Amino acid sequence: MQALPRRIPPLLHPKHFNRINPALSAASVRPFHAGAQLRALDLAFDYHENGGKATGAPIVILHGLFGSKKNNRSMSKALARDLGRPVYAIDLRNHGDSPHDTTHNYIALAEDTENFLQQHNLKDPTLIGHSMGAKTAMTVALRNPESCASIIAVDNAPVDAALASDFPKFVMGMQKVEEAKVKTQKEADKILEAYAKDLPVRQYLLTNLIKSPESSANHLKFRIPVRILAHSLDDMADFPFSDPEKNRFEKPALFVRGTRSHYVSDETLPIIGRFFPRFELVDVEAGHWVISENPEEFRRAVVEFLQDKE
């Protein structure tokens, strides 16, 4: 699998510029220590087994920030069919039908995922994650390499890198929607349009809008805890590991990046190679939302990668 030639400057915090330079010594693990014990949450999930025909090693799909297991329903069914492997599409903490908690960083997300693998006795799974889910999958693999057989990281890299400026805008827009106590999706979309110009992005965000659970209320509310996630944006930009000499995943890893996205620039490839020495790279004609923007090309890349490993 070959990557298309390109060079896009990484959107990194200045204090982390040297963190992706292989010629410089790496720092130690970040302050929230990778071995810290947090309260793991029981995660909601959908199970896809292609009518009982999928019997191979499991696949676990992790969505991105503001997403849910529903975003990966079609892809989950396709992979279960094409690979003959059962697929678990999970809701990460503070998303979808999973519980909420004030702690939202990659160590907490990884511990939830590891707990899920243990609860369901999943042996040699492949973890597929997009964006936030990609960094979660990478964190699981580096914390506990024996917990998975391979990972597929979609449009994110193991570096501290600022989120696109769109994400704070999305949060602000969702907060404005809740403050307005809207009663219809149309009202919410009109408010959100000022913060998210693209209709597909607004539709993605509005999948989280539900009737307020308060019995006396007659307005809509986001089922995700917008305030918690707003306060966690910096944590979503970080990555909890910085020393590939201490934490490395020696098993197969596929990195899929969107050709119109900045999250996996050429400058990040050396550090990816140090953390994941067996990594392969595939470019998909898409922006950041690779799976929804170009599902067929993404599906082909995943199937080819996993079939090669069988």
Quote the CA–CA distance of 170 and 54 in Å, as a whole number.
38
The catalytically annotated residue of 68, 98, 131, 242 is 131
Residue 288 annotated in active site: yes
Location of structure tokens 């809740």: 178
Give the residues across from 87 on adjacent strands: 48, 59
The catalytically annotated residue of 48, 76, 288, 292 is 288
Spatial CB neighbours of 306, under 8 Å, sequence gap ≥ 6: 83, 85, 126, 150
Based on DSSP, count helices (H) and strands (E) in the chain, helices before strands: 11, 9
3 state SS of 126? strand
Reported as type and span, the H/E element at residue 16 is: none
In the chain, which residue ranges form alpha helices assigned H by DSSP? 73-83, 106-119, 132-143, 166-180, 185-192, 199-206, 226-231, 233-237, 269-275, 290-293, 295-308
Residue 131 annotated in active site: yes
Task: List, by residue number, the catalytic residues.
Answer: 131, 288
